[in-house]
Chains A and B, each alone.
Chain A
Amino acid sequence: MKMQSQRKAYGETLVQLGRENKNIVVLDADLSKSTMTCFFEQEFPDRYFEMGIAEANMISFAAGLSLTGKIAFVNSFAVFSTGRPFDQIRQGVAIGKLNVKICGSSAGLSDFGDGATHQSVEDIAIMRAIPNMTVISPCDAIETKKAVRFAAEYDGPVYIRVSRNDLPDIFPDDMEFTLGKPVVLREGNDITVFATGTMVYEALVAAEKLSSLGISARVVNVSTLKPVDDESIIKLAEGMKGIITAEEHSIIGGLASVVTYALRGKGIPVESIAINDEFGQSAGSHDELLAHYGLKADNIVEKAKALC
C-alpha cells in the first residue's frame, strides 16, 4: 500500500498549474509550510501573496485578484478558511460567482495535536450551505491532484478539503476526476457504503472484512459534495439491504445529509459514520481520534452487520 501526502500533492499541483498558466495566484495566511503553498512561493514569488494572519482580508483580496482575471487559490486550515471568513466568502466571492478557490487544509481531525480549535468538523456543512459554491473532498493524493486541476479550470468558487496526513493511494495515477460523479471502487450487492475523503480507505478495509463475514459491500467514493447528482446516488443504493455513509465530519450538513436527502422516500435504511455533533480534541495521533469518534473500518463493519 503506497502512502502519499495529500497536502504535498496539493502544493505540487499548484506549482504545475502555475507553470502552465500565469494567471494562477496563491494566497496564504502564514501557514504556507503546512498547506504546502511554500512550493508555489518558492517558484513564483511574484504570484504568491503572504497575507499575514488575516483570513478575512485574504478572502476578499483574492476576490479582488479574481476580478482582474486571476485564478486565486486561498489557503489556510479548514477551520480558518471556512469559519472565520464565512461572510467574506458568502458576500464577496459566492454572490458574484468569482473565480476563487478555497483550500481547507488540515481538515477534519487531522491536526490531531492542536485540539478542537484547529479541527474542522463542520467545514463541508458551511461551504455546502452557500449558493454557487462547489465542494470537493478528495480521498487520496492522486484524486487531490486531479481535483485541484479541475478547480483551476472551472470558472467559479470551489472549496477543496485536504487532510494533513499521508493517505493510502486509492486511485491509479491515470484516474479522471469528474465533478459530481460518485465512483464505485468495489462492487457488492448487500449494502452500499458511500464514503468521502479519508473515510474512503476505511470503507474499503471494512468491505474486505465484511466479505469474510459473508456480507457483500459496494464502496462508493463521493468526492463531490456539491453539486450532487441525486439520481446516481439512488441508482447505487437501490436493491440494497441498507446504506452506510462515512465521513470525517459532523453528521450535520455533510455526506450523511447528502445521501439521506437523495434517498428520501425510497424506504432504504441508512446508517451514518460521522462525528456526532461535537467538537474534536487533542490526541496523540489522528488514528486515535478516528477510533475515539467511531470513524474506523470496524465501526462500518458493525453498522453493516446490523443492517444485514
Chain B
Amino acid sequence: MTIQQLEKKAKEIRLTIVKMVGPCKTGHFGGSCSIADVVAALYFHKMRHDPKNPKWPERDRLIFSKGHAAIAQYAALGMCGYFPEEEMWNLKELGCMLQGHPDMNKTPGVEANTGSLGQGLSISCGIAAGLKLDKNPARVYCIVGDGEMAEGQIWEAAMAASFYKLDNLLVILDHNKLQATGPIAERFNTSPVREKWEAFGWHTVEINGHDMNEIVESLDSTEKVKGKPSIIIAHTIKGKGIPFAENNAAFHNGSMTQEQFETACGIFSEQGVM
C-alpha cells in the first residue's frame, strides 16, 4: 500500500471509531484516534497476518496494552475482514463480540485480554519469549500509553524484555501527553520518556505519530535491530482527526452529542472518507 492509501486507511479507522461509538454513547475516542495512524500502518503495511486464519502460528501479533483503545483495533480488524461488519455496530452491547476492552476469546484477531494497564507489555514479552523458544519468526507489536507508563509493571516488563534480548518485540508508545484527568506533565509526570527506555536497555526511535512516512520508516528500521527490544516513541495528539476532541482530556472516554457526531462524519466526508 502507498503512503497515501495508508493515510486513507487511518482516516477510515477514525470514521469507523466515530460510527461504532455513535452519538450520545461513551467511548474511548481520544486514545483510539491518537494511535489510528500507527494501527493502519501495522495492519495494512507491516504485519504478516491472515484474517481468514486468525490463529496462523506464524502471524505477527499486535497487543493493545492500552486496552481502552480497543476500538481502534476493532475498526482495523473489521476493515480487514476478521468478522462481519455488522458486529461493529453492536459494540459493548450485551452478548456482543466487541467488548469494552479486548477479549481474546470473543474477538477474532485479538491476542490477549488487556485493559488493566501495565499488563499487556508483560504478556507481549511472554509471547515474544515463547516465539523465540519455538524459533518462530513472527514479531510482536505492543501499543503502550504514556499515561500507562506510570504503572510499575511496565518497568518490570521493560527489564525482562531487555534481559531476555527480545528483539522480536516492538513497542509503540502512544505519546499523546494526556491522561484521563488532564495533562500528564501536570497530573503525574512520567518524563523523561526516551531516557527511561534507553536506561532500561531499549533501542529507541522518536517520530511524529501522525506522519505516515515516519511511521512506516520506523517500523521498517526497528525490525533490523538485533539483541535488544525496540520502542517507537510516537508523538501524537489525543483525539487526532476529530477537531473538537483533539487535545481534549474530556474525550479520553467521552460522548458526542448528535451535532458533534454529524460534524465529525462531515469532516471525514469532506476528505473523501465515508
Contacts and interface: CB of A to CB of B under 8 A. Distances in A.
Interface of A: 25, 46-47, 49, 51-52, 54, 56-57, 59-70, 72, 87-88, 90-92, 95-97
B42 interface: no
Most interface-central of A59, A60, A66 (chain B CB within 10 A):
A60
Secondary structure type dominating chain B contacts: helix
B133 interface: yes
Given A91-B119, A92-B123, A96-B104, A64 B112 contact: yes
B266 interface: no
Interface string B125-149: 1111111011010000000000000
Contacts of A60: 119-120, 122-123, 125-126, 153, 157
19 contacts: A46-B133, A49-B164, A54-B159, A56-B119, A56-B153, A57-B153, A60-B122, A61-B157, A64-B125, A64-B126, A64-B127, A65-B126, A66-B130, A87-B116, A91-B115, A91-B116, A92-B116, A92-B122, A92-B123
A70 B130 contact: yes
B133 A61 contact: no
Contacts of B152: 56
Closest 3 CB pairs of A and B: A64-B126, A68-B130, A60-B122
Contacts of B119: 56, 60, 87-88, 91-92
Contact of B127 (A49, A68, A87): A68
A63 to B, nearest CB: 5
B149 to A, nearest CB: 15
B113 interface: yes
A95 B105 CA distance: 9
Given A68-B131, A68-B134, A95-B103, A63 B112 contact: yes
Given A64-B123, A95-B103, A54 B160 contact: yes
Given A61-B125, A61-B126, A92-B113, A54 B156 contact: yes
A65 B129 contact: yes
B167 interface: no
A49 B157 CA distance: 13
Interface in B97-128: 103-105, 111-116, 118-120, 122-128
Contacts of A65: 126-127, 129-130
Contacts, number: 109
A57 B116 contact: no
A112 B115 CA distance: 38
B93 to A, nearest CB: 19
A25 B134 CA distance: 12
A70 B123 contact: no
Contacts of A56: 118-119, 122, 152-153, 156
B134 A61 contact: no
Nearest to B116: A91
Secondary structure type dominating chain A contacts: helix
A51 B113 CA distance: 21
A62 B129 CA distance: 10
Nearest to B153: A56
Contacts of B128: 64
A164 to B, nearest CB: 26
Contact of A64 (B116, B129, B156): B129
A85 B115 CA distance: 15
A285 to B, nearest CB: 35
Contacts of A95: 103, 113
Given A64-B123, A88-B116, A91-B116, 8 more contacts: A49-B164, A61-B123, A61-B129, A64-B124, A65-B130, A68-B130, A92-B116, A96-B103
B122 A57 contact: yes
A95 B115 CA distance: 12
A56 to B, nearest CB: 5
Contacts of B120: 60
A65 B133 CA distance: 10
Nearest to A67: B127
Contacts of B127: 64-65, 67-68
Nearest to B129: A65
Contacts of A25: 130, 133
A72 B122 CA distance: 14
A103 B207 CA distance: 43
A97 B136 CA distance: 24
Nearest to B140: A64
B133 A70 contact: yes
A52 B159 contact: yes
A70 B156 CA distance: 21
B133 A47 contact: yes
A51 B104 contact: no
Interface in B137-190: 152-153, 156-157, 159-160, 163-164
Contacts of A70: 130, 133
A20 B163 CA distance: 28
Given A56-B153, A91-B113, A95-B113, A68 B123 contact: no
Interface string B191-235: 000000000000000000000000000000000000000000000
Contacts of A57: 122, 125, 153, 156-157, 160
Contacts of B118: 56
Contacts of A87: 116, 119
